[in-house]
Amino acid sequence: MSEPSGTSERPPVVTPTRVIAGLCLVIPFLAMLWVGSYAKLTPEFAGIPFFYWYQMLWVFLSSGLTYIAYVLVRREERARKEAAK
């Protein structure tokens, strides 16, 4: 049902900020799902085969992307609360 005119409208649930936050959370998942891209031994890094150091790199990248998503969503929630006042 639509709201009668003259009442305050709620901001949209899907916003560009939330889409970016969602992408930050999905990118590591997709990178690890695409095994063919990292199922190889070379190039080595400090004697460690590519397969292992690539996965370990994603541990740190995933942490950073999760933090970015958290900050974006938290900032938007703060702005929504301020707008609701």
The pLDDT tens digits of the residues spanning 16-73 come to 899 999 999 999 999 999 888 888 888 988 999 999 999 999 999 999 999 999 999 9
Contact 78, 11 (CB under 8 A): no
Question: What is the CB-side half-sphere exposure of residue 43 using CA atoms within 13 A?
Answer: 2
The pLDDT tens digits of the residues spanning 14-29 come to 888 999 999 999 999 9
